[in-house]
């Protein structure tokens, strides 16, 4: 069985780590044995993986500048001796390129899950070291364009593997019990979910909710955590929509919230292929999102939402209010959005593509088809 080490920056709840978990739990069905590691300290998702028999490790980096974790990563690579190393996200990519082949020749696949717009030094170091990757995997055409046009990697070494969605698990899930969570039955439910960080433009989200409060009654829940948590706790009480907004922290399972939601909103300045949008489409929920390339790619295909520039706050709020009124179109939106998700993002189809990529790259680099 081909042994593949999946390396990510951390294993805390979030879009990319959750995607890694989903992939790792499915790879054995395709004859691939995963080992999942992170550069940071052990995160809560490690236990989720270990419960299904997947081996994990952590390199205990204190922050992104802690280069001591490279020695630990090199030790873990020697310990597990994977046939192939597949990293995702900036710090994990650099680490994989630096130490992934110190003990022996092996294929190194790296990956991008977003379009970097804020950290210029990330873009520079990624561009300078990309040539050391055998293949670079991205999760959308938008990210592929970024890697080719902005980072300079030839298209022949970029592979698009879309984010996987487990439709069977979504079908089994039930919506949240509104009464149990004290969510009013007589108001539409708006959901936002993600990490509380600057790229998510939470200030813009709150501006939109303030403008929407003039047009409609609603309950908005923000699901997640991160560096802007304290800022949110200080900002929301000053918001005209404060009585309609609730902070829920991380939720173990987001799908029941999406199944109960009337609208999902996203105001990010950058995304690669946002899981929250994909999962909302799979749950048959309307989406309104900033018209960044990744969201354009997803929502134009599904027609199950609306694209608006989030700096146009009044326009964003007006279109959100209109979507909340279109309850009669829900069945049509469910059929169309699920069709797109099933055709492009089905979990086993995507993991099958990834397992074939692993075997192909292993054959090219090592001369043996695993």
Helix (H, G, I), strand (E, B) or coil at 12: coil
* Helix or strand run (H / E) with residue 86: strand 84-88
Q: Which domains does the chain possess?
A: 2-164+346-366 (3.40.50.2000), 168-345 (3.40.50.2000)
Burial per residue of 227-253, b for 16 or more beta-carbon CB atoms within 10 angstroms, e otherwise: ebeeebeeebeebebeebbeeeeeeee
Of 337 and 70, the structure prediction assigns the larger pLDDT to 70
When mean pLDDT is compared across 125-129, 319-323, 325-329, the lowest value belongs to 325-329
pLDDT band at 69 (very low <50, low <70, confident <90, very high): very high
Q: Which residues contact 153 (CB under 8 A, 6 or more apart)?
A: 130, 131, 136, 147
Task: Give the CA distances from residue 94 to residues 122, 172, 273, 297, in Å, rounded to whole numbers and listed in that order.
Answer: 10, 39, 22, 28
Encoded tokens for 368: 């043996």
Average pLDDT of the residues of the chain: 91
Pairing of strands 305-308, 158-160: unpaired
| Angle of CA points 265, 268, 273, to nearest 5° | 85
Distance of CA 349 to the CA centre of its chain: 18
pLDDT at 368 over 60: no
Q: Give 219-230 pLDDT, tens digit per residue.
A: 999 999 989 999
Q: Give 157-208 pLDDT, tens digit per residue.
A: 999 999 999 999 999 999 999 999 999 999 999 999 998 989 899 999 999 9
pLDDT band at 36 (very low <50, low <70, confident <90, very high): very high
- Return left, alpha or beta for 241; rule: phi > 0 is left, psi -120 to 50 is alpha, else beta: alpha
pLDDT band at 331 (very low <50, low <70, confident <90, very high): low
- In degrees to the nearest 10, what's the CA dihedral of 54, 60, 65, 69? -80
Q: Which residues pair with 57 in a beta bridge?
A: 37
What is the Cα–Cα distance from 119 to 191, expressed in whole angstroms?
Answer: 28
């Amino acid at each position: 069985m081909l042994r593949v080490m999946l390396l990510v920056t951390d294993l805390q709840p979030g879009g990319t780590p959750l995607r890694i978990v989903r992939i790792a739990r499915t790879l054995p069905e395709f004859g691939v044995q995963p080992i999942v590691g992170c550069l940071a300290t052990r995160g809560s998702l490690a236990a989720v993986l270990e419960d299904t028999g997947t081996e994990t490790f952590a390199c205990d980096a204190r922050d992104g500048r802690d280069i001591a974790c490279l020695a630990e990563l090199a030790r873990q690579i020697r310990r597990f001796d994977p046939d192939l190393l597949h990293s995702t996200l900036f710090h994990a990519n650099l680490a994989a390129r630096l130490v992934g082949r110190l003990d022996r020749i092996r294929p190194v696949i790296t990956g991008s899950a977003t379009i970097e717009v804020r950290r210029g030094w990330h873009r520079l170091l990624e561009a300078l070291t990309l040539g050391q990757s055998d293949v670079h995997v991205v999760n959308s055409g938008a990210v592929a364009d970024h890697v080719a046009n902005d980072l300079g990697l030839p298209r022949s070494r970029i592979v698009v593997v879309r984010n996987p969605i487990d439709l069977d698990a979504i079908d089994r899930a039930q919506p949240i019990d509104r009464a149990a969570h004290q969510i009013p039955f007589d108001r539409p439910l708006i959901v936002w979910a993600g990490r509380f960080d600057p790229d998510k433009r939470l200030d813009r989200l709150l501006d939109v909710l303030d403008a929407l409060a003039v047009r409609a009654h609603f309950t908005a829940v923000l699901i997640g955590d991160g560096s802007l948590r304290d800022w949110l706790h200080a900002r929301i009480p000053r918001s005209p929509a404060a009585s309609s907004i609730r902070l829920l922290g991380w939720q173990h399972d987001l799908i029941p919230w999406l199944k109960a939601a009337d609208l999902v909103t996203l105001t990010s300045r950058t995304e690669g292929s946002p899981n929250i949008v994909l999962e909302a489409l799979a749950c048959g929920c309307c989406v309104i999102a900033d018209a960044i390339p990744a969201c354009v790619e997803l929502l134009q295909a599904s027609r199950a939402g609306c694209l608006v520039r989030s700096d146009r706050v009044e326009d964003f709020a007006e279109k959100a209010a209109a979507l909340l009124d279109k309850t009669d179109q829900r069945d049509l939106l469910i059929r169309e959005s699920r069709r797109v998700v099933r055709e492009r993002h089905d979990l086993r189809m995507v993991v099958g593509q990834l397992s074939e990529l692993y075997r192909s790259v292993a054959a090219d680099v090592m001369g043996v088809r695993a």
